[in-house]
Chains A and B, each alone.
Chain A
């Protein structure tokens, strides 16, 4: 079936004119119509525009043009601005917002000839680890619809796992690509901070946010990253570093590669999760890699550090939502202060307000040094730990999440319990490092992910290691029942 083919295979068939982009687009739109009601993975469908874009891609293909993503459908997380299309960020605040321009990521995919099927559901303003904070309701995990798909990019993850799209974009501030990828059994890559432009991506925590993607394999991720990555003068934190050929790097043998086992990640790990990682390590040893222990002694500080830094930046970024220039405005404000307070109080959901208030508190007079400055110092200690580890090894490996997908509703009443979901993913964001989650087996019939983290700009090496693992295993080919 078309929806089980890799991006490479689809591009090959499009190139040989065995299928058209229009047929492909109709196939996926049909699947979304049929299968999405049970998942709630989508906020907006753009079927009419998608068919027009597919026709345009078909014209380019007919004229002899070829490209790795030309005519390939995708879904964008609803955090990316899309000119003329609603961009809600999962919030009532932006329920009426039609973006007046394209994010750089969106523009790059358009230029490559991709076809946008629609925009995916997400935790409100990307704040959440379960997709339950969305104004549009929770996304269901296609492996078990009583479970969460993870978050914040839960709609993109569920849609990719359910084969509603060949791939989807996401963003990762503390694990929002890698954690849902693990919980839905797909491949999820968070590139190095600055590798992909943040222009037109609704800001949550600007020193942590990074765009990436969900695919069903590392080789698909390589083709997608090739289009996303690169310098953008419109993003002041975009980095002008050469973009290597990610696809070419996939087939390098792993002989001699040094992979570090993060001691702090393995301590106290649930035995079945540990057993899956043990199997993965054996695969890597069999492929010629060398595994050795490394330690990040300051890692236990990462979750509290993150929950100071991220809310602080969020409280600053979200101050732009004022009920004046765009977004939600309350009814009958009695004065300007009332307009601000009620527009924000009614427009934002509970978790977003909680994070804005946490951030406001840690930045307020008298608490700044004890919390914000202290967290920035702890952030350096954690970053220095990673740097020391990468003096000894090429990549580090560990679990992506402590457990498989949990029940919808299970952690909504306890924010700290929810925050601890991100324990293995947050470190890479604090240090700006690239990380990838790859399916590595099942616990209780639910997918689990292994995580590889590399030094800055080591995406090619991460994709290489993930691809070689996927050549030796078939976990990434499993589809949820009913979606194969």
Chain B
């Protein structure tokens, strides 16, 4: 196993995922096999290669005029929210 239970618990915390006790061994084993598999990359000679972030070379983020293009849709959008009060999203208390 290239990853330990502690490694997976740390990753799950960083990813904000609750993982149940029953699920945990499955993730330790499957994530380990995925990491072992992608470790094949370490054998590739990439000396001097420029990392590629975009599939089309020479593409740049476009800019546009700083003009209002959207109207207010908050009521429609908030119909999908689990909890809303007075146009605000409601979450458990953060500051005591």
Binding site for B on A (CB under 8 A): 96-98, 100, 192-194, 207-208, 233, 236-237, 239, 298, 300-301, 303-305, 307-308, 315, 319, 322-327, 329, 333-342, 344-346, 348, 350, 353-354, 356-358, 360-362, 364, 370-371, 373-381, 383, 414-416, 419, 429-432, 456
Contact = CB atoms under 8 A, between A and B. Distances in A.
Contact of A324 (B12, B31, B91): B91
Given A298-B44, A415-B33, A431-B55, A345 B38 contact: no
A287 B83 CA distance: 63
A100 B52 contact: no
A336 B91 contact: yes
B37 A376 contact: no
Contacts, number: 174
Interface in B39-96: 39-42, 44, 46, 49-56, 59, 61-62, 64, 73, 76-77, 79-83, 89, 91-94
B18 interface: yes
B14 interface: yes
B56 A432 contact: yes
A381 B92 contact: no
Size class of B's contact patch?
Answer: 35 or more
B92 A333 contact: yes
A374 B51 CA distance: 8
B1 interface: no
Interface of B: 3, 7-8, 11-20, 23, 26-27, 30-31, 33-35, 37-42, 44, 46, 49-56, 59, 61-62, 64, 73, 76-77, 79-83, 89, 91-94
Closest 9 CB pairs of A and B: A432-B55, A345-B18, A376-B51, A326-B80, A329-B82, A377-B46, A380-B52, A341-B18, A377-B49
A304 B40 contact: yes
B18 to A, nearest CB: 3
A356 to B, nearest CB: 5
25 contacts: A96-B80, A97-B80, A100-B79, A192-B56, A193-B55, A237-B59, A239-B56, A239-B59, A304-B41, A307-B37, A308-B38, A325-B77, A329-B82, A335-B94, A338-B92, A341-B18, A345-B20, A353-B15, A354-B31, A360-B14, A371-B38, A377-B51, A379-B52, A380-B50, A456-B56
